C-alpha cells in the first residue's frame, strides 16, 4: 500500500507537468530568496556572533567619534580582573575608490594579535610585520578580492587622517573559524601616531577604543563598571561594554534595514504559500470525481486527504530542496560580487533549517483547505462532478 | 422448490434532498427485494429516483428512513468507516463515464480496489491481469485510459468492479457514453458475468435495448416502484 500510495502521488504530481513545473520553480525562487535574505541578516550580525565573551571595549561615553587619551592604558590595565589590554583606531581610508570599502585599524600589533587569536598569522610573517613601522596585515579575503600579496605596497587615501598613506603588506591573516572576518587591515598605531603628531599635533596620543581582556567571562560586568568608575568625572569619561554589545550597538543603527529584510523574506514565503494553495485547490477541484470514485471504492477520507497532502508536500519538497541546494553557489557568487562589503557571508545551518521548515509549512498549509473539502465531500456529489 | 436467496431487501425506504429551504422527496417509501444472482435493470424518467435508489443500495448514500439490508447487512446503521469497508468488500462499481484514474494504466486501475485488501503486490497483479483477461483486454494492460476507446475504458472499469469478487455489481448507465457496438459488447460482458460468474447486477439505464439484457426491468416513477417487468431473454 505505501508503494502504491507514493506511486499515485508521484503520477498525480506529474500529470500537469507545466503547472507542477511552474509551481516548483516558484518554490525554488522563494526558498532561494528566503535563504539569501536570511544569510544577509546573518552577515549583518556576524561581528556580534564572533565576539568573545571575555573581551570588553572601552570607548568615550559621549560618542565613538571622540577619542580617549592613550595614557588611560596603564589605569585600565591596573583595574582588578583585566588580564590583557590593547587599543585601536578606526582609520577610514579609501583604497583606490570608495566602493572598495574595508575596515582598517591602527593597532598595537603585539598586544592586539595576542587578544585576537582568531586572526591567525604565521610566526615569521608576524615578526616581519612587527619589525616594519609601515608594515600592515591584511585578511585573506581582502587579499584575494584585490589581488594583494605580501611585499605589495598598499596606498590608502585618508579621510579621518588626511593625506596619502603607504603601507607594505607584511602578512596575510587567516581566520581561525569559518565565521572570522578576513577582510580587515591592521597596521601600527605607532606609525599613525607619529605621523599625526607631525601633521596634526593636537590629535596625537589618542586611541579610538581600548580592548580589555578579562580574566573570567563571569566578571565582565564587574570589571566594566570598575573601568568606568575609574574615569568618572574625568575630561574623557568611558563607556565599557562587552564586545558583543558593542557590535550590536552598530547593528542597532541599521536595525530598520534588518527588519525590512526579514519582513521581505517572510513575505516571499507567504506569497509562495498562496501560489501553492491555489495550485492545490485547482488540482483538488479537477480531481473531485477521482476522489469521489476512490471513496466509493472504499478508500477512507484520510487516504484521499493524504493524497492531496502528499502531492503538495512533494511539490514543496522538490522546490524547497532545489532552492536549498542552489542557495550555496548563489550565496558564494553574491558574496564574491559584493567583495568585502559583507566580510562574512556564509549560509548557516540555521538558515538551511529555516528554509526546510518553510518548505514543509508551505506544503502542509497549501493542502489544508483542499484536504478539508475532500474530507467533507459527499460521494454522490463528487461523482456528479463528471456527469 | 426453495425460493431464491434475497440479496437486497428494501422496506419503506424514503429519501429526500434539500434544495435551499425546499425539501424535495425523491423516494417515497419504496420496497422490494433483489434475489442473489439476479440481473435487474432500473428504468424511469429523469428525476424518478433510479440513480438515488442505486446509490442507496451501493452504500454511497443513506436513506432518511426505512430498512435497507444488502448482503445481510443493515447498511443504514453502519458508520462511515464501516460503510466504506463494507463497500470495499461487497460492491463493484461501474459508472457511466468509467471513472478510471487517468494517471494509472489499465492494470493499475484494476488493482486499485485490491489495495484495500491484505493481498501481496504479486497477488494483486495476478488478479488484475486475470480480470483484464476476462474482459478481453489482456493486451491493453499497460495502456492508460486516454490510450483506450470508450468501450475499452468501460471494460477496464468492469474488470475493476469484478476484481474483488464482490457480492453485488452496481452499474449506473454503463452504456450511456458508448456507441451501439461498444454498448453491445459491454452488455454481453455483463450478461456473461451474471450467467457464468453468478454475479448479481443492478443497472440503471435509460436505454430500453440495454435494459433488455437484464432478467427483469423495474420501472420507477416519482419515487415509487411503478411496475416490475420480467424478461425471458435475460
Strand partners, B92: B169
Q: What are the grid coordinates assigned to B68, written together?
A: 435497507
User: Whats the size of chain B, residue-wise?
Assistant: 234
Q: What is the largest CA-CA distance in chain A?
A: 96
Q: What is the arithmetic mean of pLDDT over A346-365?
A: 95
Segment A67-103, tens digit of pLDDT: 999 999 999 999 999 999 999 999 999 999 988 889 9
Q: Are B23 and B16 in contact (CB under 8 A)?
A: yes
Distance CA A307, CA A291 (A): 9
Mean pLDDT check: name the lowest of A10-19, A47-56, A370-379.
Answer: A47-56
Of A15, A298, A387, the CB nearest to B103: A15
How far is A300 from chain B, CA to nearest CA, in Å? Answer: 7
Whether residue A33 has pLDDT greater than 80: yes
pLDDT band per the 50, 70, 90 thresholds, residue A387: very low
CB pairs under 8 A between A and B: 65
Distance CA A212, CA A54 (A): 8
pLDDT number for residue A228: 96
Say what percent of chain A tops pLDDT 90. Answer: 77
SS3 assignment, position A161? coil
Segment A324-352, tens digit of pLDDT: 999 999 999 998 887 767 777 889 999 99
- Kindly list the domain boundaries of chain A, sorted by start residue: 2-47+255-384, 62-236
- Kindly list the domain boundaries of chain B, sorted by start residue: 38-57+79-217
Interface check A375 vs B, CB under 8 A: no
Q: Are B67 and B11 in contact (CB under 8 A)?
A: yes
Q: Which residues of B touch A3 (CB under 8 A)?
A: 121
Q: What is the arithmetic mean of pLDDT over A221-229?
A: 95
Of B81, B101, B108, the CB nearest to A300: B81
Q: Are A185 and A166 in contact (CB under 8 A)?
A: no
Distance CA A28, CA A92 (A): 40
pLDDT in tens, chain B (234 residues): 455 689 999 999 999 988 888 988 999 889 999 999 999 999 998 888 899 999 999 999 999 999 999 999 999 899 999 999 999 999 999 998 999 999 999 999 999 999 999 899 999 999 999 999 999 999 999 999 999 999 999 999 999 999 999 999 999 999 988 888 889 999 999 999 999 889 999 999 998 989 999 999 999 887 677 777 887 654
pLDDT number for residue A1: 61
pLDDT number for residue B1: 43
Of B89, B93, B104, the CB nearest to A11: B104
Interface check A379 vs B, CB under 8 A: yes
Q: What is the DSSP string of B12-33?
A: EEEEEEEETTEEEEEEEEEEEE
Count how many Cα atoms sit within 13 Å of the Cα of residue A68 in the half-sphere of its side chain. Answer: 30
Sheet of strand B224-230: strand arrangement: B91-94, B168-172, B200-204, B39-43, B216-221, B224-230
Nearest in space to A117 (alpha carbons), one of A49, A55, A42, A59:
A55
- Kindly report the pTM of this predicted structure: 0.76
Chain A residue with minimal CA distance to B62? A380
Nearest in space to A307 (alpha carbons), one of A225, A255, A367, A254:
A367
Q: What are the grid coordinates assigned to A198, written together?
A: 607631525
Q: Are A276 and A84 in contact (CB under 8 A)?
A: no
Kind plus residue range of the DSSP H or E element containing B225: strand B224-230
Segment A244-257, tens digit of pLDDT: 898 888 788 788 88
Q: What is the DSSP string of A331-342?
A: HHHHHHHHTTSS
Distance CA A305, CA A219 (A): 58
Is A300 close to B84, i.e. CB distance below 8 A?
A: yes
Interface check B105 vs A, CB under 8 A: no
CATH of B38-57+79-217, one of 3.30.70.100, 3.40.50.300, 3.20.20.150, 3.30.1490.20: 3.40.50.300
How far is A41 from chain B, CA to nearest CA, in Å? Answer: 45
Whether residue A304 has pLDDT greater than 90: yes
pLDDT number for residue B234: 43
Of B85, B97, B111, the CB nearest to A387: B97
Neighbouring residues of B222: CB distance < 8 A, sequence distance ≥ 6: B28, B48, B49
First to last CA, chain B: 22
Segment A283-292, tens digit of pLDDT: 999 999 999 9
Is A298 close to B58, i.e. CB distance below 8 A?
A: no
Nearest in space to A118 (alpha carbons), one of A198, A256, A204, A211:
A211
Q: Which residues of B touch A377 (CB under 8 A)?
A: none
Mean pLDDT of chain A: 92
Q: Are A140 and A174 in contact (CB under 8 A)?
A: yes
Amino acid at each position: 500500500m505505501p508503494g502504491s500510495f507514493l506511486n499515485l502521488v508521484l503520477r498525480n504530481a506529474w500529470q500537469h507537468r507545466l503547472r507542477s513545473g511552474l509551481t516548483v520553480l516558484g518554490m525554488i525562487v522563494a526558498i532561494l530568496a528566503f535563504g539569501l535574505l536570511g544569510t544577509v541578516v546573518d552577515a549583518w550580525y556576524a561581528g556580534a556572533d564572533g565576539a568573545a565573551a571575555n573581551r570588553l571595549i572601552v570607548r568615550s561615553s559621549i560618542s565613538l567619534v571622540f577619542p580617549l587619551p592613550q595614557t588611560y592604558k596603564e589605569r585600565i590595565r591596573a583595574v582588578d580582573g583585566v588580564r590583557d589590554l590593547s587599543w585601536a583606531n578606526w582609520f577610514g581610508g579609501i583604497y583606490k575608490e570608495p566602493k572598495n570599502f574595508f575596515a582598517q585599524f591602527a593597532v598595537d600589533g603585539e598586544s592586539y594579535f595576542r587578544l585576537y587569536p582568531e586572526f591567525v598569522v604565521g610566526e615569521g610573517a608576524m615578526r616581519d610585520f612587527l619589525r616594519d613601522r609601515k608594515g600592515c596585515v591584511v585578511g585573506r579575503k581582502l587579499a584575494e578580492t584585490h589581488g594583494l600579496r605580501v611585499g605589495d605596497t598598499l596606498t590608502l587615501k585618508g579621510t579621518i587622517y588626511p593625506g596619502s598613506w603607504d603601507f607594505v603588506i607584511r602578512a596575510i591573516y587567516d581566520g581561525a573559524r569559518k565565521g572570522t572576518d578576513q577582510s580587515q587591515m591592521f597596521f601600527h598605531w605607532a606609525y599613525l601616531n607619529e605621523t599625526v603628531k607631525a601633521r596634526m599635533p593636537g590629535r596625537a596620543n589618542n586611541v579610538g577604543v581600548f580592548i580589555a581582556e578579562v580574566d573570567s567571562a563571569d566578571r565582565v560586568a564587574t570589571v566594566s563598571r570598575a573601568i568606568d568608575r575609574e574615569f568618572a568625572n574625568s575630561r574623557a569619561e568611558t563607556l565599557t561594554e562587552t564586545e558583543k554589545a558593542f557590535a550590536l550597538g552598530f547593528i542597532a543603527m541599521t536595525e530598520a534595514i534588518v527588519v525590512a529584510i526579514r519582513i521581505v523574506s517572510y513575505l516571499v514565503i507567504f506569497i509562495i504559500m498562496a501560489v501553492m494553495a491555489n495550485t492545490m485547490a485547482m488540482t483538488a477541484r479537477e480531481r473531485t470525481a477521482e476522489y469521489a470514485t476512490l471513496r466509493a471504492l472504499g478508500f477512507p477520507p484520510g487516504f484521499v486527504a493524504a493524497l492531496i497532502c502528499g502531492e503538495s508536500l512533494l511539490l514543496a519538497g522538490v522546490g524547497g530542496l532545489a532552492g536549498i541546494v542552489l542557495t550555496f553557489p548563489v550565496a558564494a557568487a553574491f558574496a564574491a560580487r559584493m567583495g568585502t562589503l559583507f566580510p562574512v557571508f556564509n549560509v548557516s545551518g540555521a538558515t538551511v533549517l529555516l528554509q526546510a521548515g518553510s518548505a514543509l509549512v508551505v506544503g502542509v498549509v497549501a493542502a489544508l483547505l483542499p484536504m478539508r473539502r475532500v474530507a467533507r465531500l459527499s460521494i454522490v456529489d463528487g461523482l456528479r462532478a463528471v456527469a | 422448490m426453495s425460493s431464491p436467496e434475497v440479496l437486497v431487501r428494501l422496506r419503506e425506504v424514503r429519501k429526500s434532498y434539500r434544495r435551499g429551504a425546499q425539501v424535495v422527496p425523491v423516494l417515497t417509501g419504496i420496497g422490494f427485494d433483489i434475489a442473489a444472482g439476479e440481473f435487474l435493470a432500473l428504468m424511469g424518467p429523469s428525476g424518478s429516483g433510479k440513480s438515488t435508489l442505486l446509490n442507496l443500495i451501493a452504500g454511497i448514500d443513506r436513506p432518511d428512513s426505512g430498512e435497507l439490508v444488502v448482503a445481510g447487512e443493515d447498511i443504514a446503521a453502519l458508520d462511515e468507516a464501516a460503510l466504506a469497508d463494507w463497500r470495499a468488500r461487497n460492491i463493484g462499481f461501474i459508472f457511466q463515464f468509467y471513472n478510471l484514474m487517468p494517471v494509472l494504466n489499465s492494470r493499475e486501475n484494476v488493482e486499485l480496489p485490491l489495495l484495500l485488501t491484505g493481498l501481496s503486490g504479486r497477488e494483486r497483479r495476478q488478479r488484475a491481469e486475470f480480470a483484464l483477461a476476462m474482459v478481453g483486454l489482456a493486451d491493453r494492460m499497460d495502456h492508460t485510459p486516454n490510450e483506450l476507446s470508450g468501450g475499452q475504458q468501460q471494460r477496464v472499469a468492469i474488470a475493476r468492479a469484478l476484481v474483488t469478487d464482490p457480492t453485488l455489481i452496481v452499474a449506473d448507465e454503463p452504456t450511456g457514453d458508448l456507441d451501439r457496438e461498444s454498448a453491445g459488447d459491454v452488455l454481453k460482458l455483463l450478461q456473461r458475468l451474471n450467467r457464468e460468474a453468478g454475479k448479481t447486477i443492478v443497472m440503471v439505464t435509460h436505454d430500453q435495448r440495454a435494459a433488455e439484457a437484464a432478467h427483469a426491468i423495474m420501472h420507477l416513477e416519482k419515487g415509487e416502484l411503478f411496475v416490475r417487468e420480467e424478461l425471458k431473454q435475460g
